[in-house]
Amino acid sequence: RNRLNASREIAPVTPPNCRLIKGIETGSEDIDILPNGLAFISSGLKYPGLKSLAPDKPGEIFLMDLNEDNPRAVELRISRGFDLASFNPHGISTYIDRDDTVYLFVVNHPHQKSTVELFKFVEDDNSLVHLKTIRHDLLTSVNDIVAMGPESFYATNDHYFFDFILMFLEMFLGLTWSNVVYYSPKEVKEVAAGFYSANGINISPDRKYIYVADILDHNVHVLEKHANWNLTHVKTLQLDTLIDNLSIDTHTGDIWIGCHPNGMKMFYDDPENLPGSEVLRIQNILSEEPAVTRVYADNGSVLQGSSVASVYEGKLLIGTVFHRALYCEL
């Protein structure tokens, strides 16, 4: 119950200009925004133990142009030859190559497995061209990913097991068997371990530090990145909420976090007791006294199960595991 914050209730905090995004009805688990304001949104996650509002519908990737006055979500077409029927997207990350090619990495769970799908984004016709499927014995229960190059990334495994019963047992026993893996075509290795459930992962704007959210330990780990891709622990910031995905404001270095104020409500599908949403902003995480601000909080009446919050020039997108998505002007 402590791990899930089972007794926590939150007071509402609502920015003045927020609206639900039309067309996103079955989740917006992760969001990544390019420097030019194009936002990718993964939707339709089916995850063991959590409800889905469209269990038989394949997942989707949406795009929003945040430069528009009234941005809307457009579903991206995915090239032929990719198994769309089993598409079950989770964490996502973008990488812009030297020739301005945009690569989209998508954690996928087809048939209860974990893969990473690599796509090329074609802006002219709002499509994704599937380049390759990455599988590896160390990528067992992948949750989130941060791209390091056109084919390399760090990934979090949120559990040691992927079977739901064993996963629950792992959580119940408090086993710290979750980890971070570095992947490239030349080398794959574990680079950090000892987490209860490593979830969101991202990188500082100067690319010196990797941030990892441990959702069941209610904290953010700061890890230093070395030339050989290994990570070493710098500090841990403890919070009082279940931390999901991490987004970075590339201008300020602030970390924006989608959180679950009460994790028990996520697992118990009770219409009288909906899972709430919470967004935190962390400023100066490397300092002695990082500033933590609650930017958004809701009891589930508007937005259920927030998992990510991303900003671009005064605009905030808040995504959820299985519910809707919110667009706010700060």
Q: Rounded to whole angstroms, how far apart are CA atoms 67 and 167?
A: 41
**Structure tokens that stand for 270 in this block:** 């009770």
The whole-angstrom distance between residue 287's C-alpha and the CA centroid of its chain comes to 25
User: If you search the block for the tokens 């067992």, which residue do you land on?
Assistant: 140
Beta bridge partners of residue 237, listed in sequence order: 220
Among residues 82, 177, 85, 103, the alpha carbon closest in space to that of 146 is found at 103
- Residue 90 a catalytic site member: yes
Q: Rounded to whole angstroms, how far apart are CA atoms 137 and 101?
A: 29
Among residues 122, 129, 123, 120, the alpha carbon closest in space to that of 94 is found at 120
253 DSSP 8-state letter: -
164 sits in which H/E element: helix 164-172
**Structure tokens that stand for 278 in this block:** 């919470």
**Structure tokens that stand for 206 in this block:** 């100067």
Catalytic residue, chosen from 90, 159, 218, 221, is 90
Q: Which residue positions form the known binding site for Ca(2+)?
A: 29-30, 92, 143-144, 199, 244-245
284 DSSP 8-state letter: -
Q: Rounded to whole angstroms, how far apart are CA atoms 249 and 231?
A: 22
Beta bridge partners of residue 326, listed in sequence order: 20, 318
Q: Rounded to whole angstroms, how far apart are CA atoms 138 and 154?
A: 12
13 DSSP 8-state letter: B
Instruction: Kindly report the length of the chain.
Output: 330
Q: Rounded to whole angstroms, how far apart are CA atoms 258 and 245?
A: 6
Catalytic residue set:
90
